[in-house]
């Protein structure tokens, strides 16, 4: 009796182990490729558009797994460390935002040597010198021309009025995308309009203090160009100072920026088609792995200015990605 | 009278605050004065936390987790509001959770003899990590149905143009000054910070006193967060970043030492005022934004060196 029980136990155990091993193998086979998307900052709500688009991509490509990683707040050195960690995980492809070519170059070189395909997503350094350094380090680039974003936003502002002074509020000096956006914005201003780049940091109280002090010291400021996480801080300070004359330009089609525009607190924001950037990058990596093929030209996805006239349309699109509750949670307005 | 002033550990911060106010008022042609109401609100937010830090430093310990506990408590307050639908209860729960966090910091420090800097540094990462998990890295706002609550108005509103956060700071400051100067607990905090062996020999439990000080420090960080959420309606994943360093700097400017045994609650509040004034004032004077952080650091070092030269008790 004992012997037969033991036999049955051993047989059941062997079967269970075999099934588990088979299931793990099947799962392994099912997830043929693991791609990593290295994000620049997990505290920027707009990255959720990449994440949501990735979820949809994984549904349509069951053999692809996409993992999202990134520092909680942007920092070039931290960004580079995350890239090193991802390379050590031996992924089948990496999508990333090349925010600082010098910081990321060693990692990109290692990825190339390891045969890991890389796609540059969102902003990409536009200068010839930077691109020369990055030559051969990535398959292609999918994103908006950051300098052009600044120019287009400046042009939209000038259609409304010519400000006496403008400022670009930066959470972190040295971020390639923001530096380019600021450069384009300043270049679009007529001669004689003073321009300031203001480093505000990412801690709300400290940032609001800087914004408040800057505006108090410069009462002639007619427009400030910030970014999505700063919307509430800027508009709260303007309300506190009673500055209804300052136009606020912000970034991307995040719930915060769209609600800011819809509430009339922000003058304009822009879209660089975040929802399609990620899937295009994943598809490029997928096709490269399958066929060895890569696009010969970068894929430029914007910008398009969003103002009171078309914000509702973008809100409807964002609602399909985030859902009612998710959208409301991401907007402080 | 002069010697009475000179012997006070707050002497240098009083002089510093007056000097900063005069300098910026003159240099900005009065513009700085217009910014004073906002500056006081800023001082209130950080000042409440700095009082807790000053009390803890007086007991000979330091808390590097206050910034993270601040954000964690803010997030917890909003979460409790959503769960209970009761703002007052949510505020009490948020402060209670923070006081337990403080007690845990104190217990780990005193029972296991791990330096408080290490224990609270660990806490700083743990609670910030929890904040990132709970917010997914973004912001959380007060639930819409509760935004007009009387408690939110009481903690975050204004009366005759004065923000209630400033009044709360004053109440907390008076209570802390009274506690340190007039109560047995205050006496024990000074004793444990200055002469822990003598304190123990006199029947005072350093572990008990320090656990209370840690608990108080974290509770005040939570109170500051609750007031901030009531005032602004939102807490961010990045809220409270570097607050630990700011409050330690303010406490030291205000007369505390890192060794313990010396400290002042209202000195720490003045320290926050000086620090906050420096940042805004330098910007108003036109200091380039990428330089002013370094200016603040240089002025801070100069200020601390000169205060040590003036006041022998701080050496």
Q: What percent of chain A has pLDDT over 70?
A: 90
pLDDT for residue A9: 45
Do B46 and B247 form a contact (C-beta atoms < 8 A)? yes
pLDDT for residue A203: 86
Residue in B31, B280, B289 closest to A209 by CB: B280
A199, β-bridge pairs: A170
A42–B234: do the CB atoms touch at under 8 Å?
no
Please give the full DSSP string across A176-234, using - where no structure is assigned: HHHHHHHHHHHHHSPTT--EEEEE--S-HHHHHHHHHHHHHH-TTEEEEE--GGGHHHH
Domains of chain B as residue ranges with CATH: 2-314 (1.10.3470)
pTM: 0.77
Only one residue has tokens 């939209």, namely A156
B27 interfaces chain A, CB cutoff of 8 Å: no
Residue spans of chain B under pLDDT 70: 1-7, 289-290, 292, 311-315
Considering only A14-23, A155-164, B139-148, B228-237, which range has the smallest mean pLDDT?
A: A14-23
pLDDT for residue A101: 83
Write out the H or E segment, with its range, that includes residue A120.
strand A118-121
Domains A31-144+273-302 and A147-271+307-329 in one fold: yes
pLDDT tens, B221-256?
A: 999 999 999 998 888 888 998 899 999 999 998 989
Domain boundaries, chain A: 31-144+273-302, 147-271+307-329
Q: How far is it, in rounded angstroms, from Cα B64 to Cα B240? A: 11
Tell me the helix, strand and coil percentages in chain A, rounded to 5. 55, 15, 30
A330 interfaces chain B, CB cutoff of 8 Å: yes
pLDDT for residue A19: 44
Strand A304-306 versus strand A269-271 pairing type? antiparallel
Q: How far is it, in rounded angstroms, from Cα B116 to Cα A266? A: 45
pLDDT for residue B84: 95
Closest by alpha carbon to A79, among A94, A62, A64, A90? A94
Q: How far is it, in rounded angstroms, from Cα B49 to Cα B176? A: 12
Name the pLDDT band for A257 (thresholds 50, 70, 90): very high
B281–A213: do the CB atoms touch at under 8 Å?
yes
A213–B228: do the CB atoms touch at under 8 Å?
no
pLDDT for residue A78: 83
* Chain A residues 4-43 with a CB less than 8 Å from chain B: 41-43
**Domain A147-271+307-329 coded CATH 3.40.50.2300:** yes
Strand A299-300 versus strand A247-249 pairing type? unpaired
Considering only A8-17, A180-189, A210-219, B43-52, which range has the smallest mean pLDDT?
A: A8-17
Lookup: tokens for A268: 């304009």
Strand A64-69 versus strand A299-300 pairing type? unpaired
Min distance B193 CA to chain A CA atoms (Å): 32
B34 interfaces chain A, CB cutoff of 8 Å: yes
The sign of the torsion formed by the CA atoms of A225, A226, A228, A233 equals negative
* Chain B residues 178-237 with a CB less than 8 Å from chain A: 228, 232-234, 236-237
A78 interfaces chain B, CB cutoff of 8 Å: no
Q: How far is it, in rounded angstroms, from Cα B296 to Cα A206? A: 13
Residue in A41, A199, A203 closest to B289 by CB: A199
B238–A202: do the CB atoms touch at under 8 Å?
yes
Euclidean distance between the first and the last CA atom of chain B, given in angstroms as a whole number: 22
pLDDT for residue A5: 46
Mean pLDDT of chain A: 86
A196 interfaces chain B, CB cutoff of 8 Å: yes
Name the pLDDT band for A16 (thresholds 50, 70, 90): very low
Name the pLDDT band for A10 (thresholds 50, 70, 90): very low
A221, β-bridge pairs: A165
**Domain A31-144+273-302 coded CATH 3.40.50.2300:** yes
A204–B236: do the CB atoms touch at under 8 Å?
yes
pLDDT for residue B315: 61
pLDDT for residue A37: 95
Do A57 and A285 form a contact (C-beta atoms < 8 A)? no
pLDDT for residue A1: 45
Q: How far is it, in rounded angstroms, from Cα B296 to Cα B221? A: 24
Using CA coordinates, name the residue in chain A closest to B27. A217
pLDDT tens, A24-60?
A: 455 555 678 999 999 887 766 778 888 888 999 999 9
pLDDT for residue A71: 83
């Amino acid at each position: 009796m004992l012997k037969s029980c033991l036999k049955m136990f051993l047989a059941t155990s062997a079967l269970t182990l075999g099934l588990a091993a088979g299931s793990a193998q099947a799962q392994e086979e099912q997830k043929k490729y693991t791609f990593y998307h290295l994000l620049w900052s997990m505290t920027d709500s707009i990255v959720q558009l990449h994440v949501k688009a990735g979820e949809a991509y994984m549904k349509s490509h069951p053999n692809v797994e996409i993992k999202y990683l990134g520092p909680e707040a942007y920092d070039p050195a931290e960004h580079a460390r995350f890239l090193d960690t991802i390379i050590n995980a031996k992924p089948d492809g990496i999508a990333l935002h090349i925010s600082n070519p010098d910081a990321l170059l060693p990692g990109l070189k290692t990825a190339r040597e390891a045969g890991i395909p890389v796609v540059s997503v969102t902003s990409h350094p536009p200068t010839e010198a930077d691109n020369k350094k990055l030559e051969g380090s990535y398959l292609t680039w999918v994103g908006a021309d950051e300098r052009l974003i600044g120019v287009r936003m400046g042009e939209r502002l000038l259609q409304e009025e010519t400000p006496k002074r403008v400022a670009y509020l930066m959470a972190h000096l040295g971020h390639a995308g923001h530096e380019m956006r600021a450069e384009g914005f300043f270049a679009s201003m007529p001669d004689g309009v003073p321009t300031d780049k203001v480093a505000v940091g990412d801690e709300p109280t400290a940032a609001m203090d800087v914004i408040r002090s800057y505006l108090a010291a410069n009462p002639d400021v007619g427009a400030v160009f910030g970014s999505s996480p700063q919307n509430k801080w800027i508009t709260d300070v303007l309300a506190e100072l009673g500055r209804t004359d300052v136009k606020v330009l912000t970034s991307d089609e995040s719930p915060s920026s769209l609600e800011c525009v819809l509430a009339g607190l922000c003058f304009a924001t822009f879209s660089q088609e975040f929802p399609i950037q990620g899937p295009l990058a994943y598809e490029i990596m997928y096709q490269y792995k399958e066929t060895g093929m890569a696009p010969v030209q970068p894929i430029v996805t914007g910008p398009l200015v969003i103002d009171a006239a078309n914000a509702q349309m973008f809100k409807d699109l964002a609602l399909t990605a985030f859902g009612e509750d998710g959208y409301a949670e991401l907007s402080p307005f | 009278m002069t010697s009475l002033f000179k012997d006070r550990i707050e002497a240098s911060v009083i002089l510093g605050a007056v000097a900063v106010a005069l300098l910026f008022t003159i240099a900005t042609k009065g513009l700085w004065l217009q910014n004073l109401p906002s500056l006081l609100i800023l001082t209130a937010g950080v000042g409440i936390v700095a009082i807790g830090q000053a009390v803890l430093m007086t007991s000979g310990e330091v808390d590097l987790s206050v910034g993270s506990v601040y954000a964690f408590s803010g997030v917890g307050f909003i979460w409790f509001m959503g769960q209970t639908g009761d703002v007052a209860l949510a505020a009490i729960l948020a402060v209670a959770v923070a006081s337990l966090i403080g007690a845990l910091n104190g217990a780990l420090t005193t029972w296991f003899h791990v330096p408080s800097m290490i224990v609270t540094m660990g806490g700083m990462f743990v609670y910030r990590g929890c904040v990132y998990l709970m917010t997914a890295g973004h912001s959380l706002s007060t639930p819409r149905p509760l935004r007009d609550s009387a408690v939110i108005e009481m903690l975050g509103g204004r009366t005759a143009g004065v923000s209630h956060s400033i009044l709360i700071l004053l109440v907390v400051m008076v209570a802390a000054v009274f506690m340190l100067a007039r109560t047995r607990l205050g006496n024990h905090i000074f004793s444990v910070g200055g002469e822990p062996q003598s304190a123990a020999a006199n029947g005072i439990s350093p572990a008990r006193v320090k656990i209370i000080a840690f608990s108080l420090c974290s509770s005040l960080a939570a109170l500051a967060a609750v007031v901030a959420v009531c005032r602004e309606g939102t807490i961010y994943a990045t809220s409270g970043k570097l607050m630990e360093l700011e409050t330690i700097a303010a406490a030291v400017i205000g007369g505390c030492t890192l060794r313990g045994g010396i400290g002042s609650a209202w000195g720490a509040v003045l320290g926050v005022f000086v620090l906050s004034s420096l940042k805004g004032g330098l910007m108003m004077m036109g200091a380039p934004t990428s330089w002013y952080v370094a200016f603040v650091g240089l002025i801070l070092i100069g200020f601390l060196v000169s205060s040590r030269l003036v006041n022998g008790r701080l050496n």
